Structure 1
Amino acid sequence: MAPSAPTFPEKLSGKSCAHARMSGVTAPDQPLDAPPTPRSTTPGARFTRRQAVVAVLGVALLAVVTYLWAHWIVGPHHHQFDLRIYYSAVNFWTDGHNIYRYMQPDPVNDWLGFTYPPLAAVLMSPMAILPLGVVKAIALPAIITTTAVIVWLSLRDRFGFQGQRMLLAVAVGTCLAFWMEPIRETLGFGQINTMIGALIMLDVLVLRPRGSRWTGVGIGLAMAVKITPGIFLLYLLLSKQWRATATAVVTAAVTTLLAAVITPVETWQYYTTLLWDSSRVGYLGSSANQSLNGLLARFLEPGTEPSRALWLVLVIGVLALTVVRTRKALAGGDHLVAMTLVGMAGVLISPASWYHHMVWVIPAVVVLARVLTDLVQQWRSHTGVRPEIPWAAVCLALPALLIVGFDTKILFGLPDVDYTGLGWFPVLVASLPMWWALATIALLPIRGDRSSTTTPALSGSAAALD
């Protein structure tokens, strides 16, 4: 009697079996070398296909809710005001003028112009051949996409989601990110902050773990496009990534020199004069300026320069705290927290840091979410042992809704710039996001530290990514 034809599972190759196991088709009690159940007949497979549709619909719904919240409750839309400055300045430049002479009126800061290094102007130069509507159609999805990258990398590090769970988590997380004021303003102004943040995070969380020779290129490019990401050289030095440090410096230098070949006059002007002129960015005492310098400026009359000596003392103090905490994070292999601490420090020590520069709120909130999630899981495990409450995470998470989710100026009815005669309390309230950033540097839980409730069993998948 002839042998019967092999069944469908028997015909699956080893490669197919491995793929099926990775896809979650193999039953929990099956041996690893057992053939999987055909995906076409399992309820789990049907549900997995539907998850993509659910994700898209969920993103669309949450996007609408976020849009309505941003426009009706949180604050004004800004109508891509900064993107319009870039667009007009680049067109002014390509018409044969010096890009740094372009200025346009601003309802808060009187006049604003192009303040980025010459490389940014070179990279933005294609705008000159496109209508503004097309530029928006490219820039706004780019902001959303890079925000999703930041959310994805943060979730991957802390939660280790896989497959469809990661897709859903990133979709929901990205929409929630646009509820947070720094990210909402980035989209509202048409800013480049999430693009800069994504470059840095790809360096730290993707290239570095792979031992790539290109580690440092993202930080170097970010430095050449916008000076403030140079703070991440501190992260590279503290983590003893000597090759990556050299790569970042060389990348920044080479790209800057290439821009100088195209724009020699503007490059010389920028790095010898304009780089040190803080008046070009607007009033330092504006409520939008969430740096230490902004706090000092709000105690003075509009247009008055704060004491540089006092500012330097505060900067040194913040840097000292950042170095101590970052080294502790690096000692535990927690590069996500180390990067976040340095990013927050960069916001605080810069002469002018607008609220939308604080994109590091995303990984900070993800870290807090992981710690609090682990705490809830331990409470629900009924082990009989009461878990230790991570007070640092609780103290950061409780005010986050108020500080990160709203424009504090609008929420408390504060002025845009002039705080003269109002006393010290409104000045401190206007700096609530700055205080939260400072608290983040001091208190953000480090994986494996006593301030975090994360256990090895819960964090194993995320730890494997380091």
Structure 2
Amino acid sequence: MKWSKELRANPVPVVVGGAMTVLAVVALVWWISDTPLGIDSAVYRAGGFAVLRGESLYSPLRALPGWALDLPFTYPPFAGLLFTSLTALPTQLCWGLLALAAAPSLYFALRPFAARTHLPVLLVGAFALQPVWQTIGLGQVNLVLMAAVVADMFLLRDSRFRGIAIGIVAAIKLIPLIFIVHFLVVRRFADAARALAVFIGVTAFAMAVLPGDSLRYWTSAILNAHFAATKGWVGNQSWQAFVARTMPDGTAATVVIVAFSALFAALAMWLVHRLHRVGDDRAALLVTAGCSLLLSPISWTHHWVWVVPALGLLAARGRRGGAVAIAVLFTGWTVAVVPGGGGAERDWTFVEAVVGNAYLIVLVAAGLACHLRFFKMYNGLYGTTNTKNDVNL
């Protein structure tokens, strides 16, 4: 009876456990029936096999299953070393392993941002968001990496181990290097040094184990031709993608990309600094995460998992209507209803452009609103300069 009362009082374990159970059953059924599942996790597994067999990570992957698209391995060599662990499992169970991590990762990513009473609803609702269900369906690592960053920032706030997880995450997927810059902006110099040292250390280790792949990655494979060919696709919601969809290639487009990227970065880091000064470290982290999505050459829709803690923070601060509206926007319909692929994005009407760039537009609008809110708060127009709405761990 006692445990049933506890579950009624805190249904989060039921939500997390239920999601893990369902995904585990899917993985087992798909494995037994030999049904294709998890294109990206299949690429990870094939990369692990390439490392074990002495094949190049950045040549066509021979261990891809027959049903998989001929996708390249795009991660740094250190990730290839980690993915050797997946070679012990069939393709579908590799997907299942990453899928099982989804619900716990969502919980750890949400907990510092959301009110406790909102957590069950937010966890259930998160599975309806395109970045989440697409990450799970593809067998991607986005949720795990986000949870590691959030845990490093908040659960290890005063620990001498803070920064280690971010260094490892950055070595798996380079874009999280921006969180080392975040440490510098908020004057956590020891944490930044620790994260950078870990990143350099594990990258050097990968270079020692895989010298050929490391040389190829850092000199050519990092500028992947697959990314260049698909940069303007609607599924890419970065600033570079926006420019690729709206301007012809050339010097003018490059100038716009570089100039506005520098402007966005400067404004974002200024905002991070000011938010940290007033004690709003949760909003500051979300600003950095949003900046990473904006500045990355490729921000596929499944990379936008940071919308989940953002919704948690909005709900916790009483902006439930805004949270619901953004959640509806991020269910994936905006990408589905506009023409996409084969350069169709360049012929969008104005309405199609607004809908097709919705993720990016929401991010920029949120950044502007955050600046406005800060200025109002800083000038005494918002009511207070502290952050009483901030959610305690």
Same fold (TM over 0.5): yes
Q: What residue number does 1:414 align with?
A: 339
| Equivalent residue letter for 1:432 | A
* 1:48 pairs with 2:5: yes
Q: What residue number does 2:33 align with?
A: none
Question: What aligned pairs does 1:10-409 form with structure 2 within 5 A after superposition?
Answer: 48-51=5-8, 79-102=37-60, 112-155=71-114, 159=115, 161=116, 169-208=118-157, 211-277=158-224, 279-280=226-227, 282-299=229-246, 307-372=253-318, 396-397=322-323, 399-409=325-335
The correspondence for 1:443, drawn from 359, 369, 383, is 369
Q: TM-score under structure 2 normalisation?
A: 0.83
> How many Å separate the matches in 2 of 1:84 and 1:201?
27
> How many Å separate the matches in 1 of 2:84 and 2:382?
47
* 1:432 pairs with 2:391: no
Could you tell me whether the CA contact under 8 Å between 1:285 and 1:417 is conserved in 2?
no
SS at structure 2 position matched to 1:295: helix
Could you tell me whether the CA contact under 8 Å between 2:182 and 2:288 is conserved in 1?
yes
| Equivalent residue letter for 1:414 | P
- 1:93 offset after TM fit, Å? 3.8
> How many Å separate the matches in 2 of 1:351 and 1:298?
13
- 1:48 offset after TM fit, Å? 3.1
SS at structure 2 position matched to 1:215: coil
- 1:49 offset after TM fit, Å? 3.4
Q: TM-score under structure 1 normalisation?
A: 0.71
Aligned identity (percent) is 22
For residues 421 and 413 of structure 1, do their structure 2 counterparts lie closer, same or farther at Cα, with a shift above 3 Å needed? closer
Deviations 1:78-109 (A, max 9, x none): 9422112222233244333101102599xxxx
| Equivalent residue letter for 2:8 | Q
> How many Å separate the matches in 2 of 1:345 and 1:192?
19
Could you tell me whether the CA contact under 8 Å between 2:110 and 2:119 is conserved in 1?
yes
> How many Å separate the matches in 1 of 2:263 and 2:132?
28
| Equivalent residue letter for 2:145 | I
- 1:56 offset after TM fit, Å? 5.5
- 1:454 offset after TM fit, Å? 9.4
Deviations 1:243-297 (A, max 9, x none): 0110011000001111112111101111122223454475001111000001111
> How many Å separate the matches in 2 of 1:252 and 1:97?
24
> How many Å separate the matches in 2 of 1:202 and 1:53?
21
> How many Å separate the matches in 1 of 2:388 and 2:176?
33
| Equivalent residue letter for 2:207 | A
> How many Å separate the matches in 2 of 1:217 and 1:62?
29
Deviations 1:366-416 (A, max 9, x none): 12112226xxxxxxxxxxxxxxxxxxx86x546413321233121x24223
> How many Å separate the matches in 2 of 1:398 and 1:52?
24
- 1:334 offset after TM fit, Å? 1.1
- 1:132 offset after TM fit, Å? 1.5
> How many Å separate the matches in 1 of 2:61 and 2:333?
26
SS at structure 1 position matched to 2:232: coil
Aligned length: 371
| Equivalent residue letter for 2:130 | E
| Equivalent residue letter for 2:85 | P
| Equivalent residue letter for 1:438 | V
CA RMSD of aligned residues (A): 3.5
- 1:170 offset after TM fit, Å? 3.5
Could you tell me whether the CA contact under 8 Å between 2:231 and 2:241 is conserved in 1?
yes
For residues 52 and 102 of structure 1, do their structure 2 counterparts lie closer, same or farther at Cα, with a shift above 3 Å needed? farther
> How many Å separate the matches in 2 of 1:81 and 1:349?
26
> How many Å separate the matches in 1 of 2:241 and 2:252?
9
| Equivalent residue letter for 2:162 | T
| Equivalent residue letter for 2:111 | W
> How many Å separate the matches in 2 of 1:341 and 1:126?
34
Specify every segment of 5 or more residues in structure 2 that has no aligned partner in the other structure, as ranges.
24-35
Specify every segment of 5 or more residues in structure 1 that has no aligned partner in the other structure, as ranges.
1-39, 67-77, 374-392
> How many Å separate the matches in 2 of 1:281 and 1:125?
28
